[in-house]
A and B are shown apart, each in its own frame.
Chain A
Amino acid sequence: AQSVTQLGSHVSVSEGALVLLRCNYSSSVPPYLFWYVQYPNQGLQLLLKYTTGATLVKGINGFEAEFKKSETSFHLTKPSAHMSDAAEYFCAVSLNYGGATNKLIFGTGTLLAVQP
């Protein structure tokens, strides 16, 4: 069964510091992996995705993530945090790989705070 674990429900960084949000997955088949961001009282916005090919994927707002099969990880990073990055971040793995409905299994989320 597929699952996602996000280490750290709350992460606080200073403005300009490196952002590292951790995600580990469990999947019996090659995974599709996603990072979504959610601002207060908003829906989820896709930051980036890994399906196949290059293991380092770049997304919007300067974020990137690296798929590491040996570590079953898909950590999200950004070199320099901005105040506007404060939000909740969800890692997700796709269920029914190659299937008809592409259901997502979400991690429990990481709330990122950015200190001035």
Chain B
Amino acid sequence: DAMVIQNPRYQVTQFGKPVTLSCSQTLNHNVMYWYQQKSSQAPKLLFHYYDKDFNNEADTPDNFQSRRPNTSFCFLDIRSPGLGDAAMYLCATSRVRGGVGYEQYFGPGTRLTVT
């Protein structure tokens, strides 16, 4: 089945130690998104890629960066995790065609713990 895959599902890192979260998709969608979701809150968009074009949200901290080496993969890098970065990180994809966007498909998420 076509899907969005996130690895690992659970990640523990130390305060200040760089960490990378991975997302891959078999849907061949041209847009990929990264969200941060804290407990009992709605997902918050950090940034997205439309093909190779990177689009950062205005309030996303510089500590968060992303890479998309090809259509299938997208990475979230947290350069110096703080305790406040502990959250669920969700990857999503969508297809945009002819100027029209369609629904987003989400991966299972990576739960990040910062010790």
Q: Which residues of A contact B (CB under 8 A)?
A: 32, 34, 36, 41-46, 49, 90, 94, 96, 98-104, 106-109, 111
Contacts of B30-82 to chain A: CB distance below 8 A: 31, 33, 40-43, 45, 48, 50, 55
Q: Which 6 A-B pairs have the closest CB atoms?
A: A102-B101, A43-B106, A106-B42, A44-B106, A43-B108, A43-B109
Among B31, B33, B45, B103, residue most surrounded by chain A Cβ atoms (within 10 Å):
B103
Within the assembled complex, what's the spacing in Å between the Cα atoms of A109 and B111?
19
CB-nearest residue of chain B relative to A104? B104
Q: Which of A32, A100, A108 contacts B42 (CB 8 A)?
A: A108
Q: Is the interface of A mostly helix, strand, loop or mixed?
A: loop
Q: Which of B40, B101, B103, B105 contacts A101 (CB 8 A)?
A: B101
Q: Is the CB of A100 within 8 A of B99?
A: yes
Q: Chain A residues near B106 (CB, 8 Å)?
A: 36, 43-45
Q: Chain B residues near A103 (CB, 8 Å)?
A: 33, 45, 48
Given contacts A41-B111, A99-B101, A101-B48, 6 further A-B contacts (CB under 8 A): A49-B103, A98-B99, A101-B31, A102-B31, A108-B41, A108-B42
